[in-house]
Amino acid sequence: MSEPLARLPGAMQSGQLMTLGVMGGGQLARMFVHAAQAMGYFTVVLDPDPVSPAGWVSHHHIQTDYLDEQGLAQLMQRCAAITTEFENVPSGALYTLGSQRFVAPAANAVAVAQDRTLEKAHFVRCGVACAPYAEIHTLEQLHEVPEALLPGILKTARLGYDGKGQVRVATREQLQAAWDGLQHVPCVLEKMLPLAMECSVIVARGADGTMVHFPVQRNVHREGILALTEVFEGNVPPTLVQQAVASALEIAKTLNYVGVLCVEFFVLEDGSLLVNEMAPRPHNSGHYTINACDQSQFDLQVRTLAGLPLTQPRQHSPAIMLNLMGDLWGGAHLQIVPDWAAVLALPGTHLHLYGKLAARKGRKMGHLTVTAASPREAQAVAQEAAKLLGIAAF
Protein backbone atom coordinates (compact mmCIF):
# COMPACT_ATOMS: atom_id res chain seq x y z
CA MET A 1 0.00 0.00 0.00
CA SER A 2 1.27 3.46 -0.82
CA GLU A 3 2.10 5.97 1.92
CA PRO A 4 -0.72 8.43 1.15
CA LEU A 5 -3.20 5.57 1.49
CA ALA A 6 -1.62 4.48 4.77
CA ARG A 7 -2.35 7.94 6.16
CA LEU A 8 -5.96 7.86 5.04
CA PRO A 9 -8.20 7.85 8.11
CA GLY A 10 -10.33 4.84 7.32
CA ALA A 11 -13.48 5.99 8.99
CA MET A 12 -13.42 9.34 7.28
CA GLN A 13 -16.09 9.82 4.68
CA SER A 14 -15.51 12.58 2.20
CA GLY A 15 -17.69 12.23 -0.85
CA GLN A 16 -17.21 8.66 -1.98
CA LEU A 17 -13.96 8.24 -0.09
CA MET A 18 -14.68 5.51 2.39
CA THR A 19 -12.79 2.37 3.25
CA LEU A 20 -14.61 -0.95 3.52
CA GLY A 21 -13.11 -3.94 5.31
CA VAL A 22 -13.64 -7.67 4.98
CA MET A 23 -12.77 -10.51 7.34
CA GLY A 24 -11.27 -13.35 5.31
CA GLY A 25 -9.31 -13.25 2.08
CA GLY A 26 -10.74 -16.05 -0.06
CA GLN A 27 -12.47 -15.81 -3.43
CA LEU A 28 -15.66 -14.36 -1.96
CA ALA A 29 -13.67 -11.49 -0.44
CA ARG A 30 -11.81 -11.08 -3.74
CA MET A 31 -15.06 -10.61 -5.64
CA PHE A 32 -16.36 -8.28 -2.90
CA VAL A 33 -13.17 -6.21 -3.25
CA HIS A 34 -13.62 -6.03 -7.03
CA ALA A 35 -17.20 -4.78 -6.61
CA ALA A 36 -16.25 -2.28 -3.88
CA GLN A 37 -13.35 -0.87 -5.88
CA ALA A 38 -15.52 -0.49 -8.96
CA MET A 39 -17.70 1.84 -6.88
CA GLY A 40 -14.71 3.85 -5.71
CA TYR A 41 -14.14 2.42 -2.25
CA PHE A 42 -10.81 1.60 -0.72
CA THR A 43 -10.62 -1.91 0.70
CA VAL A 44 -8.86 -3.68 3.53
CA VAL A 45 -8.72 -7.47 3.88
CA LEU A 46 -7.84 -9.22 7.13
CA ASP A 47 -6.55 -12.76 6.58
CA PRO A 48 -3.66 -14.65 8.21
CA ASP A 49 -2.57 -16.10 4.86
CA PRO A 50 0.14 -14.02 3.11
CA VAL A 51 -1.06 -15.10 -0.34
CA SER A 52 -4.85 -14.98 -0.17
CA PRO A 53 -6.99 -14.41 -3.31
CA ALA A 54 -8.39 -11.14 -1.88
CA GLY A 55 -5.09 -10.04 -0.34
CA TRP A 56 -3.64 -9.86 -3.86
CA VAL A 57 -6.20 -7.37 -5.09
CA SER A 58 -7.11 -5.28 -2.02
CA HIS A 59 -5.58 -1.85 -1.35
CA HIS A 60 -4.45 -3.17 1.97
CA HIS A 61 -4.00 -6.56 3.60
CA ILE A 62 -3.73 -6.99 7.36
CA GLN A 63 -2.02 -10.31 7.85
CA THR A 64 -2.99 -11.45 11.34
CA ASP A 65 -5.20 -14.06 12.96
CA TYR A 66 -8.91 -13.23 13.10
CA LEU A 67 -8.78 -12.71 16.87
CA ASP A 68 -5.53 -10.74 16.93
CA GLU A 69 -6.24 -7.56 18.90
CA GLN A 70 -3.84 -5.41 16.93
CA GLY A 71 -5.13 -6.69 13.62
CA LEU A 72 -8.72 -5.93 14.62
CA ALA A 73 -7.72 -2.49 15.96
CA GLN A 74 -6.01 -1.69 12.66
CA LEU A 75 -9.04 -2.85 10.70
CA MET A 76 -11.34 -0.63 12.78
CA GLN A 77 -8.99 2.31 12.46
CA ARG A 78 -8.89 2.02 8.69
CA CYS A 79 -12.49 1.08 7.90
CA ALA A 80 -15.87 2.73 8.22
CA ALA A 81 -17.71 -0.56 7.81
CA ILE A 82 -16.72 -4.22 7.88
CA THR A 83 -18.18 -7.41 6.41
CA THR A 84 -17.21 -11.06 6.45
CA GLU A 85 -16.62 -13.53 3.65
CA PHE A 86 -17.04 -16.80 5.51
CA GLU A 87 -19.13 -17.92 8.43
CA ASN A 88 -16.27 -19.44 10.36
CA VAL A 89 -14.74 -16.09 11.28
CA PRO A 90 -14.90 -16.28 15.11
CA SER A 91 -18.03 -14.37 16.12
CA GLY A 92 -16.00 -12.88 19.01
CA ALA A 93 -13.97 -10.95 16.44
CA LEU A 94 -17.18 -9.59 14.91
CA TYR A 95 -18.51 -8.55 18.34
CA THR A 96 -15.27 -6.61 18.93
CA LEU A 97 -15.52 -4.91 15.54
CA GLY A 98 -19.23 -4.24 15.98
CA SER A 99 -18.62 -2.35 19.21
CA GLN A 100 -16.95 0.45 17.26
CA ARG A 101 -17.86 0.07 13.61
CA PHE A 102 -20.81 -0.82 11.42
CA VAL A 103 -20.55 -4.57 10.87
CA ALA A 104 -22.84 -6.41 8.45
CA PRO A 105 -23.87 -9.12 8.90
CA ALA A 106 -23.88 -8.58 12.67
CA ALA A 107 -22.02 -10.92 15.00
CA ASN A 108 -25.21 -12.48 16.42
CA ALA A 109 -26.53 -13.41 12.96
CA VAL A 110 -23.18 -14.97 12.01
CA ALA A 111 -23.15 -16.83 15.34
CA VAL A 112 -26.51 -18.44 14.44
CA ALA A 113 -25.37 -19.37 10.92
CA GLN A 114 -22.11 -20.92 12.12
CA ASP A 115 -23.80 -23.36 14.48
CA ARG A 116 -26.11 -25.96 12.94
CA THR A 117 -28.14 -26.35 16.15
CA LEU A 118 -28.81 -22.60 16.48
CA GLU A 119 -29.44 -22.40 12.73
CA LYS A 120 -32.06 -25.16 12.79
CA ALA A 121 -33.72 -23.62 15.86
CA HIS A 122 -33.99 -20.39 13.86
CA PHE A 123 -35.62 -22.22 10.93
CA VAL A 124 -38.13 -23.77 13.31
CA ARG A 125 -38.83 -20.31 14.78
CA CYS A 126 -39.54 -19.05 11.25
CA GLY A 127 -41.95 -21.93 10.61
CA VAL A 128 -39.78 -23.25 7.78
CA ALA A 129 -39.45 -27.04 7.67
CA CYS A 130 -35.97 -28.61 7.77
CA ALA A 131 -34.69 -32.20 7.67
CA PRO A 132 -35.58 -34.34 10.73
CA TYR A 133 -32.58 -34.25 13.06
CA ALA A 134 -31.30 -34.81 16.57
CA GLU A 135 -28.68 -32.87 18.49
CA ILE A 136 -25.78 -34.94 19.76
CA HIS A 137 -23.76 -33.28 22.50
CA THR A 138 -23.60 -36.19 24.94
CA LEU A 139 -23.34 -39.96 24.89
CA GLU A 140 -26.90 -40.18 26.24
CA GLN A 141 -28.20 -38.15 23.30
CA LEU A 142 -26.28 -40.46 20.94
CA HIS A 143 -27.95 -43.51 22.50
CA GLU A 144 -31.39 -41.90 22.38
CA VAL A 145 -31.26 -41.09 18.67
CA PRO A 146 -34.54 -42.32 17.11
CA GLU A 147 -34.22 -45.26 14.74
CA ALA A 148 -36.08 -43.19 12.11
CA LEU A 149 -33.01 -40.92 11.65
CA LEU A 150 -30.98 -43.80 10.21
CA PRO A 151 -29.50 -43.96 7.67
CA GLY A 152 -28.38 -40.41 8.28
CA ILE A 153 -25.57 -37.90 8.04
CA LEU A 154 -23.66 -36.94 11.16
CA LYS A 155 -22.58 -33.30 10.81
CA THR A 156 -20.40 -31.32 13.17
CA ALA A 157 -22.41 -28.42 14.59
CA ARG A 158 -19.62 -26.00 13.74
CA LEU A 159 -16.86 -25.43 11.18
CA GLY A 160 -18.17 -27.63 8.37
CA TYR A 161 -18.05 -26.59 4.72
CA ASP A 162 -17.97 -28.28 1.32
CA GLY A 163 -19.04 -31.58 2.90
CA LYS A 164 -16.23 -31.46 5.48
CA GLY A 165 -17.12 -32.52 9.02
CA GLN A 166 -19.80 -34.92 7.70
CA VAL A 167 -20.01 -38.70 7.93
CA ARG A 168 -22.72 -40.86 6.40
CA VAL A 169 -23.92 -43.55 8.81
CA ALA A 170 -26.33 -46.44 8.28
CA THR A 171 -26.32 -48.16 11.69
CA ARG A 172 -25.94 -47.27 15.38
CA GLU A 173 -22.48 -48.86 15.39
CA GLN A 174 -21.41 -46.63 12.50
CA LEU A 175 -22.92 -43.63 14.27
CA GLN A 176 -20.91 -44.36 17.40
CA ALA A 177 -17.72 -44.88 15.36
CA ALA A 178 -18.33 -41.66 13.40
CA TRP A 179 -18.86 -39.61 16.57
CA ASP A 180 -15.69 -41.14 18.08
CA GLY A 181 -13.88 -40.16 14.85
CA LEU A 182 -15.14 -36.59 15.21
CA GLN A 183 -13.67 -36.45 18.75
CA HIS A 184 -17.12 -36.12 20.36
CA VAL A 185 -17.58 -32.50 19.26
CA PRO A 186 -21.22 -31.29 19.27
CA CYS A 187 -23.00 -32.67 16.19
CA VAL A 188 -26.39 -33.05 14.60
CA LEU A 189 -27.59 -36.28 13.05
CA GLU A 190 -29.79 -35.60 10.04
CA LYS A 191 -31.94 -38.17 8.35
CA MET A 192 -30.64 -39.03 4.88
CA LEU A 193 -33.29 -37.69 2.54
CA PRO A 194 -34.25 -38.76 -0.99
CA LEU A 195 -33.34 -35.55 -2.85
CA ALA A 196 -34.93 -34.77 -6.20
CA MET A 197 -32.94 -31.55 -6.50
CA GLU A 198 -31.27 -28.79 -4.51
CA CYS A 199 -31.76 -25.05 -4.83
CA SER A 200 -30.84 -21.81 -3.12
CA VAL A 201 -32.05 -18.24 -2.78
CA ILE A 202 -29.85 -15.22 -2.15
CA VAL A 203 -31.41 -12.33 -0.29
CA ALA A 204 -30.02 -8.88 0.50
CA ARG A 205 -31.45 -6.87 3.39
CA GLY A 206 -30.54 -3.28 4.16
CA ALA A 207 -30.27 -1.66 7.58
CA ASP A 208 -33.63 0.03 6.89
CA GLY A 209 -35.29 -3.38 6.40
CA THR A 210 -35.54 -3.22 2.59
CA MET A 211 -35.23 -6.72 1.11
CA VAL A 212 -34.42 -7.83 -2.43
CA HIS A 213 -33.55 -11.25 -3.82
CA PHE A 214 -32.11 -13.09 -6.80
CA PRO A 215 -34.00 -15.82 -8.71
CA VAL A 216 -34.04 -19.36 -7.32
CA GLN A 217 -30.86 -21.15 -8.30
CA ARG A 218 -30.81 -24.86 -9.03
CA ASN A 219 -27.65 -26.45 -7.65
CA VAL A 220 -25.95 -29.75 -8.42
CA HIS A 221 -23.54 -31.06 -5.77
CA ARG A 222 -20.93 -33.72 -6.31
CA GLU A 223 -19.24 -35.36 -3.32
CA GLY A 224 -20.87 -32.78 -1.03
CA ILE A 225 -19.43 -29.83 -3.01
CA LEU A 226 -21.30 -27.52 -5.36
CA ALA A 227 -20.45 -28.54 -8.93
CA LEU A 228 -22.80 -26.34 -10.97
CA THR A 229 -25.68 -23.90 -10.76
CA GLU A 230 -28.40 -23.40 -13.38
CA VAL A 231 -30.55 -20.28 -13.35
CA PHE A 232 -33.30 -19.73 -15.86
CA GLU A 233 -37.08 -19.83 -16.16
CA GLY A 234 -38.35 -23.33 -15.43
CA ASN A 235 -35.26 -24.64 -13.60
CA VAL A 236 -37.40 -25.21 -10.50
CA PRO A 237 -41.21 -25.78 -10.42
CA PRO A 238 -43.04 -22.40 -9.97
CA THR A 239 -44.81 -23.32 -6.70
CA LEU A 240 -41.45 -24.18 -5.14
CA VAL A 241 -39.97 -20.91 -6.40
CA GLN A 242 -42.57 -18.90 -4.49
CA GLN A 243 -42.16 -21.00 -1.37
CA ALA A 244 -38.34 -20.84 -1.42
CA VAL A 245 -38.26 -17.07 -1.89
CA ALA A 246 -40.85 -16.49 0.85
CA SER A 247 -38.93 -18.75 3.26
CA ALA A 248 -35.58 -17.07 2.54
CA LEU A 249 -37.08 -13.60 3.09
CA GLU A 250 -38.70 -14.72 6.35
CA ILE A 251 -35.41 -16.25 7.58
CA ALA A 252 -33.54 -12.98 6.88
CA LYS A 253 -36.24 -10.75 8.36
CA THR A 254 -36.71 -12.73 11.57
CA LEU A 255 -32.94 -12.60 12.18
CA ASN A 256 -33.06 -8.83 11.64
CA TYR A 257 -30.32 -9.59 9.17
CA VAL A 258 -28.34 -6.89 7.35
CA GLY A 259 -26.22 -7.95 4.38
CA VAL A 260 -26.31 -10.75 1.81
CA LEU A 261 -27.68 -14.11 2.95
CA CYS A 262 -27.95 -17.39 1.04
CA VAL A 263 -30.48 -20.03 2.04
CA GLU A 264 -30.03 -23.56 0.66
CA PHE A 265 -32.98 -25.90 0.16
CA PHE A 266 -33.64 -29.57 -0.56
CA VAL A 267 -36.47 -30.62 -2.87
CA LEU A 268 -37.53 -34.15 -1.97
CA GLU A 269 -38.76 -36.81 -4.37
CA ASP A 270 -42.33 -36.20 -3.12
CA GLY A 271 -42.02 -32.55 -4.25
CA SER A 272 -41.75 -31.03 -0.77
CA LEU A 273 -39.32 -28.25 0.04
CA LEU A 274 -37.08 -28.32 3.13
CA VAL A 275 -34.49 -25.77 4.18
CA ASN A 276 -30.95 -27.17 4.45
CA GLU A 277 -28.70 -24.41 5.76
CA MET A 278 -27.84 -20.75 5.37
CA ALA A 279 -24.65 -18.82 4.69
CA PRO A 280 -24.31 -15.29 6.11
CA ARG A 281 -22.55 -13.96 3.01
CA PRO A 282 -22.56 -14.15 -0.78
CA HIS A 283 -22.57 -17.75 -1.95
CA ASN A 284 -20.96 -19.91 -4.60
CA SER A 285 -24.38 -20.51 -6.14
CA GLY A 286 -24.66 -16.74 -6.74
CA HIS A 287 -21.47 -16.26 -8.73
CA TYR A 288 -23.46 -16.26 -11.98
CA THR A 289 -24.99 -12.92 -10.88
CA ILE A 290 -21.74 -11.16 -11.87
CA ASN A 291 -22.37 -11.91 -15.54
CA ALA A 292 -26.08 -12.67 -15.79
CA CYS A 293 -27.73 -9.99 -13.61
CA ASP A 294 -27.82 -6.20 -13.65
CA GLN A 295 -26.38 -6.23 -10.13
CA SER A 296 -24.24 -8.98 -8.64
CA GLN A 297 -24.49 -10.45 -5.15
CA PHE A 298 -21.21 -8.63 -4.40
CA ASP A 299 -22.66 -5.29 -5.54
CA LEU A 300 -25.49 -5.84 -3.08
CA GLN A 301 -23.01 -6.73 -0.33
CA VAL A 302 -21.28 -3.38 -0.95
CA ARG A 303 -24.59 -1.53 -0.93
CA THR A 304 -25.77 -3.08 2.35
CA LEU A 305 -22.39 -2.33 3.94
CA ALA A 306 -22.17 1.25 2.71
CA GLY A 307 -25.79 2.06 3.53
CA LEU A 308 -26.76 2.58 -0.12
CA PRO A 309 -30.26 1.87 -1.50
CA LEU A 310 -31.23 -1.64 -2.58
CA THR A 311 -33.21 -2.22 -5.74
CA GLN A 312 -34.50 -5.57 -6.94
CA PRO A 313 -31.83 -7.15 -9.19
CA ARG A 314 -32.88 -8.42 -12.60
CA GLN A 315 -31.41 -11.42 -14.40
CA HIS A 316 -30.85 -10.48 -18.03
CA SER A 317 -29.53 -13.80 -19.36
CA PRO A 318 -30.10 -17.48 -18.66
CA ALA A 319 -26.95 -18.74 -16.95
CA ILE A 320 -25.05 -21.85 -15.95
CA MET A 321 -22.06 -21.71 -13.65
CA LEU A 322 -19.51 -24.50 -13.52
CA ASN A 323 -17.12 -24.66 -10.57
CA LEU A 324 -13.50 -25.15 -11.60
CA MET A 325 -12.05 -27.49 -9.00
CA GLY A 326 -8.37 -28.24 -8.35
CA ASP A 327 -8.83 -31.65 -9.97
CA LEU A 328 -8.76 -29.95 -13.41
CA TRP A 329 -5.14 -28.91 -12.85
CA GLY A 330 -4.06 -32.49 -12.15
CA GLY A 331 -3.10 -31.97 -8.50
CA ALA A 332 -0.88 -29.81 -6.36
CA HIS A 333 1.79 -28.93 -8.89
CA LEU A 334 -0.48 -27.33 -11.44
CA GLN A 335 1.10 -29.56 -14.08
CA ILE A 336 -1.96 -29.35 -16.31
CA VAL A 337 -3.08 -26.01 -17.67
CA PRO A 338 -6.72 -26.31 -18.69
CA ASP A 339 -7.29 -25.23 -22.28
CA TRP A 340 -8.90 -21.87 -21.52
CA ALA A 341 -8.57 -20.71 -25.12
CA ALA A 342 -10.74 -23.60 -26.31
CA VAL A 343 -13.36 -22.83 -23.64
CA LEU A 344 -13.33 -19.10 -24.31
CA ALA A 345 -13.86 -19.78 -28.02
CA LEU A 346 -17.40 -20.82 -27.04
CA PRO A 347 -19.94 -17.97 -27.05
CA GLY A 348 -21.05 -16.39 -23.76
CA THR A 349 -18.30 -17.85 -21.58
CA HIS A 350 -16.95 -15.83 -18.64
CA LEU A 351 -13.85 -17.16 -16.90
CA HIS A 352 -13.13 -16.28 -13.27
CA LEU A 353 -9.92 -17.56 -11.63
CA TYR A 354 -9.14 -16.79 -8.02
CA GLY A 355 -5.35 -16.53 -8.13
CA LYS A 356 -4.74 -19.58 -5.91
CA LEU A 357 -1.20 -20.87 -6.16
CA ALA A 358 -1.82 -24.53 -5.34
CA ALA A 359 -4.49 -26.78 -6.75
CA ARG A 360 -5.92 -29.59 -4.62
CA LYS A 361 -8.66 -32.07 -5.32
CA GLY A 362 -11.91 -30.43 -4.22
CA ARG A 363 -10.38 -26.95 -3.93
CA LYS A 364 -12.33 -24.19 -5.67
CA MET A 365 -9.87 -22.55 -8.08
CA GLY A 366 -12.35 -20.55 -10.14
CA HIS A 367 -15.65 -20.75 -11.96
CA LEU A 368 -16.94 -20.47 -15.49
CA THR A 369 -20.27 -18.80 -16.16
CA VAL A 370 -22.07 -19.36 -19.45
CA THR A 371 -24.69 -16.81 -20.45
CA ALA A 372 -26.89 -17.25 -23.51
CA ALA A 373 -30.07 -16.05 -25.15
CA SER A 374 -31.96 -19.21 -24.15
CA PRO A 375 -31.66 -21.96 -21.50
CA ARG A 376 -31.17 -24.56 -24.22
CA GLU A 377 -28.25 -22.63 -25.68
CA ALA A 378 -26.69 -22.09 -22.25
CA GLN A 379 -26.95 -25.82 -21.57
CA ALA A 380 -25.38 -26.75 -24.92
CA VAL A 381 -22.42 -24.41 -24.41
CA ALA A 382 -21.95 -25.44 -20.76
CA GLN A 383 -21.96 -29.13 -21.70
CA GLU A 384 -19.40 -28.44 -24.39
CA ALA A 385 -17.22 -26.47 -21.95
CA ALA A 386 -17.51 -29.25 -19.37
CA LYS A 387 -16.38 -31.77 -21.97
CA LEU A 388 -13.36 -29.66 -22.95
CA LEU A 389 -12.36 -29.28 -19.30
CA GLY A 390 -12.94 -32.89 -18.26
CA ILE A 391 -15.89 -32.09 -16.00
CA ALA A 392 -18.52 -34.87 -15.93
CA ALA A 393 -21.63 -34.17 -18.01
CA PHE A 394 -24.79 -33.10 -16.20
Of 89, 35, 74, the C-alpha closest to 58 is 35
CA 15 to chain CA centroid, Å, is 31
Choosing from 119, 198, 230, 299, the residue that interacts with ligand ADP (CB under 6 A) is 198
230 is a contact residue toward ligand ADP (CB under 6 A): no
Those residues with Cβ within 8 angstroms of residue 64's Cβ, 6 or more apart along the chain or in another chain: 46, 48, 70, 71
Smallest distance from the beta carbon of 153 to ligand ADP, in angstroms?
5
Q: Which of 195, 342, 345, 373 binds ligand ADP (CB under 6 A)?
A: 195
- Is there binding between residue 124 and ligand ADP (CB under 6 A)? no
When binding is defined by CB under 6 A, the residue of 177, 193, 310, 346 that contacts ligand ADP is: 193
Q: Which stretch binds ligand ADP (CB under 6 A): 5-13, 185-193, 297-305, 337-345?
A: 185-193
Residue closer to ligand ADP, measured from CB, 255 or 263: 263
Distance of alpha carbon 364 from alpha carbon 32, whole angstroms: 17
221 binds ligand ADP (CB under 6 A): yes
Residue 74 or 200 with smaller CB distance to ligand ADP: 200
With CB under 6 A as the contact rule, which of the stretches 104-112, 187-195, 311-319, 377-385 interacts with ligand ADP? 187-195
Report, in Å, the least distance between residue 145 CB and ligand ADP: 14
> For residues 47 and 67, what is the distance between their CA atoms, to the nearest angstrom?
11
**Count, residues in the chain:** 394
163 binds ligand ADP (CB under 6 A): yes
For position 190 contacting ligand ADP by CB under 6 A, the verdict is yes
Told to check if 25 binds ligand ADP by CB under 6 A, we report no
If binding is defined by CB under 6 A, does position 277 make contact with ligand ADP?
yes
Tell me which amino acid residue 382 is: A
User: Interface with ligand ADP includes 268 (CB under 6 A)?
Assistant: no
For ligand ADP, the closer CB: 85 or 277: 277
Question: Quick one: 120 or 352, whose CB is closer to ligand ADP?
Answer: 120
Q: With CA atoms as reference, report the closest residue to 234 among 135, 335, 376.
A: 376
Reduced to 3 states (helix: H, G, I; strand: E, B; else coil), residue 73 is helix
Binding flags for ligand ADP, 125-144, as an x/- string (CB under 6 A) = ------x-------------
Asked if the bond preceding 186 is cis, omega within 30° of 0, the reply is no
What DSSP designation does 235 have?
Answer: S
> Whole-number minimum distance, CB 195 to ligand ADP, in Å?
5
For position 160 contacting ligand ADP by CB under 6 A, the verdict is: yes
Do residues 324 and 353 touch, judged by C-beta distance below 8 A?
A: yes
Options 31, 81, 153, 275; binder of ligand ADP; rule CB under 6 A: 153
Contacts with 333 (C-beta within 8 Å, 6 or more apart), sequence order: none
Beta strand spans in the chain (E): 19-23, 42-46, 60-62, 81-84, 102-103, 133-136, 152-156, 166-169, 187-191, 195-205, 211-213, 217-222, 225-231, 259-268, 273-279, 319-325, 349-353, 364-371
Instruction: Please select the residue that binds ligand ADP; options are 49, 68, 135, 162, rule is CB under 6 A.
Output: 162
| Closest-CA residue to 281 (of 310, 252, 253) | 252
* Segment interacting with ligand ADP, rule: CB under 6 A, options 24-32, 63-71, 173-181, 188-196: 188-196
> Which residues contribute to the site for ligand ADP (CB under 6 A)?
131, 153, 155, 160-163, 190-193, 195, 198, 221, 224, 264, 276-277
